[in-house]
Structure 1
Amino acid sequence: MKDKRKILTIISLILFVILLFIMNRTFDSYEIRILNLCGIYVVLGLSLNLINGFTGLFSLGHAGFMAIGAYTSAIFTMSPELKQMNYYLKPIIPIFKNIQLPFLPSLLIAGLMAGLIGFLIAAPVLRLKDDYLAIATLGFSEIIRVVFTNTQSLTNGALGLKGLPKYTNVWWSWGMAIGTVIFMVLLIKGSYGRALMAIREDEIAAEAMGIDLFRHKIISFTIGSFLAGVGGALLAHLLGTIDPLMFRFLLTFNILLIVVLGGIGSITGTVISAVVVTVLMEFLRVLDGTMDLGFIRISGIPGMRMVVFSALLMFVILFYQRGIMGTKEFTWDWILNRKKKYTQIKG
């Protein structure tokens, strides 16, 4: 049975890569952009779900870690000429002036920098619980954004950075998404994952079983921050321009929406929700403009797509209060067991 699952997993990955290749060749630039955003939001959704869903911590600071990753990657990938063009009010710090690295090292450095800041923030903050933790992480996120707004020689302040190399493509965004899914599955199935879920369910019982609560929470928060930094870097190199206003609380809310809608504590649910929410938000954009149905012309109402999207969200939450998947995960047993039952009935 285990061999069958492995074979099915490998076949599905190969088919998905083939599908990505076909979509990359046939989709136009707008559709490719949406496809890239889906992959990036899978990474971001899983990173927040690790903290909020699997560990039971209520963090609202994800936008701050995304900003760290985005700016770090941008500074390391920009050419000296591009830096000179962007930093015209105040020159960049000399140590970064002539540094230019390929995308992969910059991506890893971005994640490590976000993880390091996440580790430093986690040490004092994770002694808090529930609403107090949420307020503290939100406060740190806003502090990071304000610092970036006022450090002209490092981040170019409120002007932001423009003309970033657009390295992010289908293979980078979905390669990182697939890698994150595999990492999360292995983590959650391992001893660390079981310890994190034990902390989520009952901290007192987990501590009584010998689990070091503080150490495991810090590990979870640091890994989540690292992945958020990678997601922020991917987003920066997809858009080609960043500024501090991009990384407000609303961005964290969008990722939290994906986690809650998919199911708090479900990898499968987060992946499904990230794709559905991203595609639906773009698909409903037609409601904001004038619609010509042939026999009638309907004037668009600005903001209508958000009204419809909110109504659909309320509908889903009413009928699926724990999200699309709850805490369940997709397994090949669903298919194999059905096939076995069908064979027994037919026999």
Structure 2
Amino acid sequence: MVKRIPLKINLILTIAFLIGIYFFLSNVSVLGDYWSRIVTLVAIYSIMAVSYTLVNGITGIFSLGQAGFIAIGAYTSALLTLSLQQKEMSFFIQPLIWPLNSIQIGFLPATIIGGLVAAFFAFLIGYPSLRLTGDYFAIATLAFAEIIRILIQNLYGVTNGTLGLKGINPYTNVWWAWGWLLVTVLIIGSLKYSSYGRALRAISEDPVAAKVMGIDVFRHQMMAFVISGFFAGISGALYAHWITTLDPRPTSLGVMLTFYVLIMIVIGGLGSITGAILGAIFFAFVSQWLRIFESNITIFGFTIPGVPGMSMLILSVLFIVVMIFWRRGLMGKEELNWQKIYNFFKKVEVQNE
């Protein structure tokens, strides 16, 4: 019989874990600026992945429009935090429209507004599109993300078009990123284990049966889609003030970004919040390490030429392998907790005896 960990011990371990994270973040600057930026990026990717998990994993809706919400949050927050002088210098082809040309606010309200604008667009696209099912909904959301990118590319009076936005203040640091990650996990985790979350999981398993049981499928899916859009917008705002430059290229804020986040949640496990975070950590570090294949490598005097895009090729192959042979991912639909960690080490101990 497996020993159950008392609730009090669970609480103590959780508090100790959070204190450990706090001390790690407090001293991450010792590792250097590069690693500080990577640790910040891990949190931003985790917010993207957790928000995407709410829709694709927990609710079971196959959406491909996450990059659109991230882009909306990124541009909205950047336009609100840029100084009036920066706006005047950047928008030289076509002046920035009113009232954006006369507004500058702080990073926190700009981030929240970016999330709210993304949530509003999630409602606009979700209201008609959620009546579609399966691949049709995925195609509709993919088209939405591409429409947003094309609009960003052509609305010179709002987004500065193909010139993009440069000189964005680097407000995002480890505290902002990990603080918002904590908020995201608390809200989406609470939602997952609430009555609404149970309804969402029922819809994911069988929407017809859920409807027969009295669950308003459309209303619950809409709620999940809007909340996911909000936190995607938050991650976009953090990303904009981390990278400090925005442009509408497909590889920056286009469909490729949705593909990146999809890799994270598939590797971590569809439907798992902790799995999404583990997938984001894996992707953030591996995508950086694989960049060595895109530059020349010298081994024993021989130079192997780098291949541009090789890192994404390797990640794409890994994604296909996971989809074919390990669909469950790291966590499946389960969450990592102290009981599972205890059971794992207990099992290892028994096997070694």
TM-score interval, smaller chain: over 0.9
Q: 1:107 aligns with which of 100, 105, 111?
A: 111
Q: 1:22 aligns with which of 22, 27, 49?
A: 27
Confirm whether residue 209 of structure 1 aligns to residue 213 of structure 2.
yes
Q: Which residue of 2 aligns with 1:136?
A: 140
Any stretches of 5+ residues in structure 1 without a counterpart? none
Q: Which residue of 2 aligns with 1:3?
A: 8
Query: Aligned partners of 2:271, 2:348: CA distance in 1, in Å?
Result: 31
Q: 1:301 aligns with which of 293, 306, 321?
A: 306
Confirm whether residue 265 of structure 1 aligns to residue 240 of structure 2.
no
Query: Matches of residues 20-169 of structure 1 in structure 2 within 5 Å?
Result: 20-23=25-28, 25-169=29-173
Change over 3 Å in CA distance of 1:46–1:151 after alignment to 2: same
State the secondary structure of the residue aligned to 1:328: coil
State the secondary structure of the residue aligned to 1:260: helix
Change over 3 Å in CA distance of 1:155–1:304 after alignment to 2: closer
Assess if the C-alpha contact under 8 Å between 2:297 and 2:306 holds in 1: no
Q: Between Structure 1 and Structure 2, how many residues are aligned? A: 343
Assess if the C-alpha contact under 8 Å between 2:130 and 2:218 holds in 1: yes
Query: Aligned partners of 2:71, 2:345: CA distance in 1, in Å?
Result: 47
Query: Aligned partners of 1:10, 1:80: CA distance in 2, in Å?
Result: 44
Query: Matches of residues 304-343 of structure 1 in structure 2 within 5 Å?
Result: 304-337=310-343
The superposition leaves residues 259-310 of structure 1 with CA deviations (integer Å, 9 ceiling, x where unpaired) of: 11111101111111101111001111112223345x4444233143334434
Change over 3 Å in CA distance of 1:12–1:98 after alignment to 2: same
Measured after TM superposition, the shift of residue 134 of structure 1 is 0.4
Assess if the C-alpha contact under 8 Å between 1:290 and 1:297 holds in 2: no
State the secondary structure of the residue aligned to 2:57: helix
The superposition leaves residues 168-222 of structure 1 with CA deviations (integer Å, 9 ceiling, x where unpaired) of: 1111112111221222221111111111101000112211221111110110000
Query: Matches of residues 150-189 of structure 1 in structure 2 within 5 Å?
Result: 150-189=154-193
Query: Aligned partners of 2:306, 2:100: CA distance in 1, in Å?
Result: 46
TM-score norm. by structure 1 comes to 0.93
Assess if the C-alpha contact under 8 Å between 2:266 and 2:327 holds in 1: no
Q: CA RMSD in A?
A: 2.1
Change over 3 Å in CA distance of 1:138–1:337 after alignment to 2: closer
Q: 1:279 aligns with which of 277, 282, 285?
A: 285
Measured after TM superposition, the shift of residue 154 of structure 1 is 1.2
Measured after TM superposition, the shift of residue 311 of structure 1 is 4.2
State the secondary structure of the residue aligned to 1:244: coil
Q: Which residue of 1 aligns with 2:3?
A: none
Quick check: 312-321 or 282-291, which moved more?
Answer: 312-321
Query: Letter of the aligned partner of 1:304 in structure 2?
Result: M
The superposition leaves residues 71-109 of structure 1 with CA deviations (integer Å, 9 ceiling, x where unpaired) of: 110111011101101111111112122211110000000
State the secondary structure of the residue aligned to 1:147: helix
Query: Aligned partners of 2:45, 2:141: CA distance in 1, in Å?
Result: 20
**% identical equivalent positions:** 45
Change over 3 Å in CA distance of 1:88–1:327 after alignment to 2: same
Query: Matches of residues 221-260 of structure 1 in structure 2 within 5 Å?
Result: 221-245=225-249, 246-260=252-266
TM-score norm. by structure 2 comes to 0.91
Runs (4 or more) in structure 1 with deviation over 6 Å come to: 338-344
Any stretches of 5+ residues in structure 2 without a counterpart? 1-5
Assess if the C-alpha contact under 8 Å between 1:163 and 1:241 holds in 2: yes
Query: Aligned partners of 1:290, 1:339: CA distance in 2, in Å?
Result: 43
Query: Aligned partners of 1:136, 1:327: CA distance in 2, in Å?
Result: 26
State the secondary structure of the residue aligned to 2:131: coil
Query: Aligned partners of 1:263, 1:338: CA distance in 2, in Å?
Result: 18
Query: Letter of the aligned partner of 1:69 in structure 2?
Result: G
Q: 2:17 aligns with which of 12, 25, 38?
A: 12
Query: Aligned partners of 1:38, 1:48: CA distance in 2, in Å?
Result: 15
